Structures are given as C-alpha cells and as structure tokens.
C-alpha cells in the first residue's frame, strides 16, 4: 500500500502534480501495489493522519513543496508531515521530491527507524526540459517497485540523473540536474545521514550510528555539566575532610545550600525549555 500525497496550488505544484500522476501511472503498470491518493484539497494534515491510521501504508509519497522541517500541505500554510508528527510514521518509507526536507525532517524520520528519500537542497528544474527532471525524480520509486532495495534504487536514480545530464542540450538544464542529483539522498539502515557537525561526527565514530545520531547535543552538554559538578563536589568534600574529617563533611555547609540553589535553578530552567518546546511545536502545527 502506498499513500500518495500531491497538493496543487501554485505554478511549481502544477508541474509536480503532473509528475506525480505520471509516477502513479507508471508504478501501477509495473506493480500491483495499491495507492491511496490524497490530491489537491485532500492533501491536508488531517487527511494524511486519518488515512495513515486507516491503512498503515508502507510507503508515503509526497510531491512537492517542503523545507527543512516539513512537507507543505495544500494551500501552503501548514505541513502534512513535520517534526511534530513525523514519529507517527516510524518505520515507514517516505519518498519525496520536496526541497530541503532531507536536512532535518529526513534525519528525524531515519532516527525513528524509517527510510527517507529526499533532497538536502532546493529542487530546481527548467520548464522546457521538465520531462528529464520528472524522469529523474520518479526513477527511485519505480526502481524500488521493480524489486530494487532502497540503496540500489538510489544508485539507479543517480545514474538516471547522469544520463539526463548527457541528454540535455540546454546548459541550465545540465547545471540543475547536477545540482539535484547531488542533493538527492536516501537514508536507510545501511546508508545513514552524514553530519557536518564535528561533535556529532566524533559521537558517531565513538558510539556507532544509532547512538551517535540519537544523542542530542543538549544531552552531551548536561552530561558534561554534571560530570564537572561531580568533580567540584568531590573536591569540596575533600577539603572539608582535611579540615575536620567526616563530621565536617556531614555538617551543614554554605556550599551545600549553593549546590541546592544551583540544582533547583537547573530544574526550573529545563522545565521551562520543555514547556516552550511543546508550545512552539503546537503553534507550528496550527499555523504552518
């Protein structure tokens, strides 16, 4: 079962909608896989979540607009899938040509055990050679439906881009095909995302892919902070011991009050951060 989502509300989605229809037609000609289609005004967050709950499709296909945090719904004011609801689709494959979506949303989906096919940069195409771009954008799912693994499908799609670059006559078509080809990624269990962050890369090397990508930088910061605090408390207790032995350590000290205030302040701050985070995500859900 494939859940196909295709809004149509501006110039660019006129094209992506056409490409999506071609994709559906082509997949139907080579496979018996059933489609649930949410097109134009049906391409909304509510419909996507409802149809997903009803059918539990293995693949979710989305054409077209997106950004780092989400895939844009009909009308362009909200998202069908974003960081707030992507965990709902855990373990499933998301196939999209939405711009930039592989940057953050794709990584988050992959962290949840899913496959993400998408682009790390803006997807561009020339209108006079749109068929070449359509062929390349659709190549991955078609290859997958023909029996290739996702990793193999990525290689096939990249080769399709190379062929299209050779075939194209207009120089800007060649430039954009190359740009799109290099922005295309498919995150799978065997092909994890690459990070530009040095600390993340160190974590990945030290602890492996799963933990390296799951660990948040804030978690590492808190861990380091408490380790440092532990060293400080140990040093303080040692000084107390030298002054008056264990009795001195156990007696009420001003330092302990300071430590208590510090921990209370930390607790209140963390509570505030969580509160703000949920509020922000909720706001994004409502307003896009």
Partner 1 sequence: MGEKEIVRAIEEYFKQHPDLRWSFGKMVLNGHDTIKMMKKDKAFRKTLVEAVVKYSIEQLVKGDVNNGGV
Note the residues at the interface with partner 1 (CB under 8 A).
10-12, 15, 65, 76, 99, 121-128, 170-172, 174-176, 178-179, 182
Whole-number minimum distance, CB 16 to partner 1, in Å? Answer: 9
Whole-number minimum distance, CB 12 to partner 1, in Å? Answer: 5
- With CA atoms as reference, report the closest residue to 60 among 71, 75, 68: 71
How far is it, in rounded angstroms, from Cα 162 to Cα 176?
12
How far is it, in rounded angstroms, from Cα 210 to Cα 17?
36
Structure token pair of residue 46:
């509510």
Decide: helix, strand or coil at residue 149: coil
Whole-number minimum distance, CB 132 to partner 1, in Å? Answer: 12
Whole-number minimum distance, CB 220 to partner 1, in Å? Answer: 30
Based on CB atoms, which residue is closest to partner 1, 12 or 220?
A: 12
- With CA atoms as reference, report the closest residue to 167 among 122, 136, 121, 146: 136
Decide: helix, strand or coil at residue 67: coil
Based on CB atoms, which residue is closest to partner 1, 99 or 139?
A: 99
Whole-number minimum distance, CB 65 to partner 1, in Å? Answer: 6
Based on CB atoms, which residue is closest to partner 1, 137 or 240?
A: 137
| Element (DSSP H or E) covering residue 118 | strand 115-119
Whole-number minimum distance, CB 9 to partner 1, in Å? Answer: 10
Q: Are 92 and 59 in contact (CB under 8 A)?
A: yes
Based on CB atoms, which residue is closest to partner 1, 122 or 259?
A: 122
How far is it, in rounded angstroms, from Cα 119 to Cα 183?
5
Based on CB atoms, which residue is closest to partner 1, 127 or 286?
A: 127
Based on CB atoms, which residue is closest to partner 1, 170 or 270?
A: 170
Structure token pair of residue 271:
């509570």
| Packed helices 254-287 and 217-250: angle between N→C axes, nearest 10 degrees | 160
Length of the chain: 288
């Amino acid at each position: 079962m494939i859940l196909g989502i295709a809004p149509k509300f501006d110039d660019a989605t006129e094209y992506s909608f056409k490409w999506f229809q071609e994709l559906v037609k082509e997949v139907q000609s080579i496979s018996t896989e059933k489609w649930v289609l949410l097109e134009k005004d049906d391409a909304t967050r509510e419909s996507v979540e409802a149809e997903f709950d009803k059918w539990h499709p293995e693949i979710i296909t989305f054409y077209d607009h997106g950004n780092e945090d989400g895939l844009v719904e009909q009308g362009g004011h909200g998202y069908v899938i974003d960081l707030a609801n992507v965990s709902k689709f855990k373990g499933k494959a998301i196939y999209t040509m939405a711009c930039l979506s592989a940057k953050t949303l794709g990584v988050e989906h992959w962290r949840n055990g899913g496959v993400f096919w998408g682009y790390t940069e803006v997807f561009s195409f020339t209108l006079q050679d749109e068929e070449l771009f359509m062929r390349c954008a659709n190549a991955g799912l078609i290859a997958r439906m023909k029996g290739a693994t996702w990793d193999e499908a990525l290689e096939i799609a990249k080769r399709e881009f190379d062929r299209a670059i050779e075939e194209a006559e207009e120089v800007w078509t060649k430039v954009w095909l190359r740009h799109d080809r290099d922005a295309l990624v498919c995150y799978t269990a065997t092909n994890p995302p690459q990070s530009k962050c040095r600390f993340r890369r160190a974590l990945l090397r030290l602890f492996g892919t799963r933990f390296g990508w799951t660990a948040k930088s804030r978690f590492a910061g808190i861990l380091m902070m408490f380790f440092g605090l532990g060293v400080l408390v140990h040093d303080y207790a040692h000084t107390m011991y030298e002054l008056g032995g264990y009795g001195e350590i156990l007696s009420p000290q001003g330092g302990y009050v300071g430590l208590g205030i510090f921990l209370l302040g930390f607790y209140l701050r963390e509570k505030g951060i969580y509160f703000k985070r949920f509020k922000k995500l909720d706001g994004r859900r409502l307003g896009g």
